[in-house]
Structure formats: structure tokens, C-alpha cells
């Protein structure tokens, strides 16, 4: 009887520990990562199915040492789900024989078996290919051949659009001349960022925009602005993914900028006031300092943030010197490529 009592006490202690771990599982996020061999799988659908089946939050990035699932394909092309629990517990893997069914559902059921030890029929499953996870410092969660989520991001973008600017010039004679300046533009942007939080990227961006050929509309008399202009700017930006592994992201930025016109002719007539002040010669077309801010939306073409994609932006600027004020409004669409 003593042996039986001791055995029952051990079983009870094991059950209590199991329940405690299950409680912890239910409240802590579970990382789900995909090896490059399984990159073609519907990752968002799989994460959603796993979260629903386990009844716990599922994320694409977790703290080092936290529980995580890794999904990959073996040398024979079979899907393999590997569960790495907290340090000191059993790490297990299971192969899935997919037969054209609901892959997300099959992986979710396998994940439930690995995490809870209970099969779809409610039976306790024996561990498969299990070994003890080390108790020392754990690296960031990642599957074999899959890089850990990086905190650094780089982005290159090329865009084309159209702009319309209001240009106001105050002549030496006191006349205020206003015109609209319109034309297409082509822009290039290079950005370097840091992932400050899940889905949130902060950084700096350098941009250059060529405008032209420009058309002048309005009362600038015989003043003529050059057919082409160049703008360079630098400043901070923010990129936000509402879903960490989703393709949609919102972006915004602001930059200190300088506007250069290719040429300008100051051949003022009566509207400018006569005689022409020599200081006015060439005033229109000098470089202008100012700032430009934009908001936009982007869409990655891959299954997770980064890679190739497209974006659309609208921006508003303000440029001035002692006699000129210019307020450009621009829209553009473009292609982008990002590294995470």
C-alpha cells in the first residue's frame, strides 16, 4: 500500500505541474516560425488556426526562451512541426502527411498535440522525437535555416507622381505675383530603420525628387521658372504594420528639404514695378529651404513584412526665403524593396 500511495502522489504532483504549465501556456504568447523550406505555406492562416485551436495568442516574434513552434519540410518534402517549450521541458517534433486537405487545420491539430499532449480525439499522445530543451540562455526563437527576426530594416523606393505648387513672389516694387507650377516628378528614397516594437519601425530617410517639365500658370508676368527642378530632403519616418506578419503597412515621414530650380529669367514688366531693382535679377529660381511631410500606405507582395511591394503617398511642403513662398502638393505611387 505504501508503494501504491507513493505512486499516486507522484502522479498527482505530475498532474498539478501539468495543469500549472497549461495555465501558463494559455496566458503567454506562442511564437510560430516558418523555415525557408515552408515559406510557401499560408502563414497568416496557419497562425490564426493555431491560435484558435490552442486558445492562446500567437505571434511571429517572441522573447528568447519563450515557447515556440517551428514549421519546416524534411528532405522528403513532408511537413514537420517542432515544438520548443520552455527550457528544461521536452522538445518534440511530429511529421504531417498532408493529403490536399486543410493544411492550416492539420498543422493546428499537430500543434495542439505537441503543446498539450492531447490528440484531436481527446487521447493523450506519446512524445515523438523528444529531447530535453537546455536550461541555459536561449537564443532568439528560430527554426533551422530560418533567421531570427531582425531589429534592423533597410528600404529602397522608386516613385513617380504629379505635383502642383502655389508660388508667390513679392517684388521690390511691392507687387505680389502668384502662379501655379505643375508637372510630373520622379523620386528615389533610401531609408534605414529600427524595429522599436512589434510591427513598428522607426528610422531616417533620404530622398531626392526631380520635377519637370514644369508649367507656369498665373500672374508671374515675364518671370519664367526653369522647366526642371530638384528637391533633396532628409528626416525621420515611421512604418507601422497593423499585423506583424501581414502585408499592409502605414507610413509617414517629415524631412528638412531644399528646392533647386534649373534656371530662372527675371525680365520684369509693369506688374513688378519699374524700374527693376537689380537685386531682383535672378531672385526667382534661387534655391529655397523648407520642409515636406507625407503620409502613405504600402503593401508587401510577400507572405510577411519586407521584400518587394508597392506604396502610395501624398505630401505637402512649405518653402520660403525673404521674398518667395512656395507650397507644393504632390501624389505618387511607386515600388519598394525592403530588408528585415
The domain containing residue 79 runs over which residues? Answer: 26-132
167 shares a domain with 125? no
**Does a structural domain hold residue 232?**
yes
Residue 139 gets which letter from DSSP?
Answer: P
Q: What is the CATH number of the domain that holds 202?
A: 2.40.160
Instruction: Kindly give, in sequence order, each residue whose CB lies less than 8 Å from that of residue 181, ignoring residues fewer than 6 positions away.
Output: 164, 165, 166, 167, 214, 215, 216, 217, 225, 326, 328
pLDDT given at position 265: 55
pLDDT given at position 305: 58
**Does a structural domain hold residue 145?**
no
236 shares a domain with 270? yes
Instruction: Calculate the CA 278 to chain-centre distance.
Output: 52
Residues 255-282: b if buried by 16+ CB within 10 A, e if exposed: bebebebeeeebebeebbeeebeeebee
**What Å distances lie between residue 312 and 159, 242, 336, CA to CA?**
8, 17, 10
Q: Are 119 and 127 in contact (CB under 8 A)?
A: no
178 shares a domain with 86? no
- Helix (H/G/I), strand (E/B), else coil: 156: strand
188 shares a domain with 317? yes
Q: Please give the model's pTM, rounded to 2 decimal places.
A: 0.56
243 shares a domain with 194? yes
**Does a structural domain hold residue 8?**
no
Q: CA 8 to CA 2: how far, in whole Å?
A: 10
As for how many domains the chain has, the answer is 2
- Write the DSSP string, 95-132: EE---SS-HHHHHHHHHHHHHHSB-TTSPBPPPSS-EE
109 shares a domain with 57? yes
**Does a structural domain hold residue 17?**
no
**Does a structural domain hold residue 147?**
no
Of 97, 132, 167, the last residue of a domain is 132
Of 78, 102, 132, the last residue of a domain is 132
317 shares a domain with 231? yes
**Does a structural domain hold residue 228?**
yes
Place of cell 521584400: 307
69 shares a domain with 158? no
Place of cell 512589434: 198
104 shares a domain with 175? no
Q: Residue 280 — left, alpha, or beta (φ > 0 → left; ψ -120 to 50 → alpha)?
A: alpha
pLDDT per residue, tens digit, the chain (340 aa), is 566 655 555 545 544 455 444 444 456 788 888 888 887 788 888 888 888 888 888 887 766 667 888 888 887 778 888 888 766 566 788 887 655 567 888 888 888 888 877 555 544 444 444 443 444 334 444 444 444 445 788 999 999 999 999 988 877 677 777 888 899 999 999 999 998 877 789 999 999 999 988 887 776 655 667 788 899 999 999 999 887 667 889 999 999 999 888 765 544 545 555 444 444 444 555 688 999 999 999 998 865 556 799 999 999 999 998 888 899 999 999 999 988 6
Q: What is the CATH number of the domain that holds 82?
A: 3.30.160
122 shares a domain with 159? no
Of 79, 98, 132, the last residue of a domain is 132
180 shares a domain with 317? yes
**Does a structural domain hold residue 79?**
yes
- Helix (H/G/I), strand (E/B), else coil: 256: strand
170 shares a domain with 122? no
pLDDT given at position 285: 58
**Does a structural domain hold residue 273?**
yes
Q: CA 7 to CA 10: how far, in whole Å?
A: 5
Which residues are registered as beta bridge partners of 309? 300, 336
Amino acid at each position: 500500500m505504501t508503494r501504491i500511495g507513493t505512486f499516486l502522489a507522484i502522479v498527482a504532483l505530475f498532474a498539478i505541474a501539468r495543469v500549472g504549465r497549461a495555465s501558463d501556456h494559455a496566458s503567454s504568447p506562442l511564437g510560430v516560425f516558418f523555415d525557408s523550406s515552408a515559406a510557401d505555406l499560408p502563414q497568416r492562416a496557419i497562425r490564426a488556426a493555431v491560435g484558435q485551436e490552442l486558445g492562446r495568442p500567437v505571434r511571429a516574434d517572441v522573447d528568447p526562451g519563450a515557447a515556440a513552434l517551428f514549421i519546416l519540410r524534411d528532405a522528403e518534402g513532408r511537413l514537420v512541426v517542432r515544438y520548443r517549450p520552455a527550457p528544461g521541458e521536452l522538445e518534440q517534433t511530429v511529421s504531417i502527411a498532408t493529403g490536399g486537405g486543410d493544411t492550416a487545420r492539420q498543422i493546428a491539430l499537430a500543434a495542439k498535440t505537441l503543446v498539450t499532449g492531447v490528440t484531436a480525439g481527446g487521447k493523450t499522445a506519446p512524445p515523438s522525437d523528444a529531447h530535453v530543451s537546455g536550461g541555459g540562455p536561449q537564443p532568439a526563437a528560430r527554426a533551422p535555416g530560418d533567421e531570427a527576426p531582425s531589429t534592423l530594416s533597410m528600404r529602397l523606393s522608386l516613385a513617380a507622381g504629379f505635383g502642383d505648387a502655389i508660388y508667390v513672389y513679392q517684388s521690390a516694387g511691392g507687387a505680389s505675383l502668384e502662379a501655379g507650377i505643375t508637372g510630373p516628378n520622379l523620386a528615389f528614397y533610401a531609408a534605414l530603420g529600427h524595429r522599436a516594437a512589434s510591427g513598428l519601425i522607426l528610422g531616417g530617410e533620404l530622398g531626392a525628387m526631380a520635377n519637370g517639365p514644369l508649367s507656369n500658370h498665373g500672374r508671374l508676368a515675364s518671370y519664367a521658372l526653369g522647366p526642371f527642378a530638384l528637391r533633396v530632403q532628409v528626416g525621420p519616418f515611421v512604418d507601422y504594420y497593423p499585423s506583424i506578419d501581414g502585408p499592409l503597412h502605414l507610413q509617414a515621414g517629415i524631412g528638412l528639404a531644399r528646392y533647386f530650380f534649373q534656371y530662372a529669367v527675371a525680365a520684369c514688366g509693369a506688374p513688378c514695378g519699374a524700374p527693376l531693382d537689380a537685386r531682383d535679377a535672378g531672385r526667382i529660381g534661387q534655391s529655397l529651404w523648407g520642409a515636406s511631410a507625407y503620409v502613405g500606405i504600402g503593401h508587401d507582395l510577400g507572405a510577411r513584412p519586407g521584400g518587394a511591394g508597392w506604396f502610395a503617398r501624398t505630401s505637402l511642403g512649405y518653402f520660403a526665403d525673404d521674398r518667395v513662398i512656395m507650397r507644393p502638393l504632390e501624389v505618387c505611387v511607386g515600388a519598394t524593396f525592403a530588408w528585415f
